[in-house]
């Protein structure tokens, strides 16, 4: 499902379903990743206005903080702007899930 300024995709991995919703702006993005019910979870913001992104945790994560940081910094670098990422994941991500979610997010951004 896609409309100007908004993208929504579903990633099925290992019998788990992840929803990715992205609000697109000229100077950045807001990304929500959730599994199961739609909730706000741990949140990270990354700003890239120079050579290296500056990343801050808004709501700490019990797990997946490295994944959230990677997503936020990748997008803020690509857009040369701001990226806020939140994720509500029911159980820890394995490598395959992480890779497929990240690939889908980057694919969405390429088509933006």
Do the beta carbons of residue 44 and residue 57 sit within 8 Å? yes
pLDDT for 1 equals 46
CATH code reported for the domain at 2-110: 3.30.230.90
Tokens of 90: 């029911």
Q: What is the spatial distance between Cα 46 and Cα 73, in angstroms, rounded to a whole number? A: 6
Query: What is the reported pLDDT for 3?
Result: 58
Q: What is the CA radius of gyration of the chain?
A: 13
Is residue 28 a contact partner of residue 77, using CB atoms and an 8 Å limit?
Answer: no
- CA separation for the pair 7, 109 (Å, rounded): 9
pTM of the model: 0.89
CA distances from 98 to 33, 66, 68, 92 (A): 11, 11, 10, 10
Segment 47-97, tens digit of pLDDT: 998 889 999 999 998 877 899 999 999 999 998 999 999 999 999 999 999
Burial letters 31-65, b for 16+ CB under 10 A, else e: bbbbbeeeeebbbbbbbbeeeebebeeeeebeebe
The domain locations on the chain are 2-110
């Amino acid at each position: 499902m896609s409309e100007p300024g908004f993208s929504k995709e579903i990633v099925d991995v290992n019998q788990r379903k992840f929803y990715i919703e992205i609000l697109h702006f000229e100077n950045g993005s807001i990304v929500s990743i959730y599994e199961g019910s739609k909730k706000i979870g741990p949140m990270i913001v990354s700003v890239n206005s120079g050579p290296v992104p500056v990343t801050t945790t808004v709501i700490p994560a019990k797990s997946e903080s490295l994944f959230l940081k990677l997503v936020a910094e990748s997008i803020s670098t690509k857009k040369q702007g701001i990226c806020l990422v939140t994720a509500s994941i029911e159980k820890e991500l394995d490598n395959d899930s992480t890779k497929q979610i990240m690939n889908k997010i980057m694919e969405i951004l390429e088509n933006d």
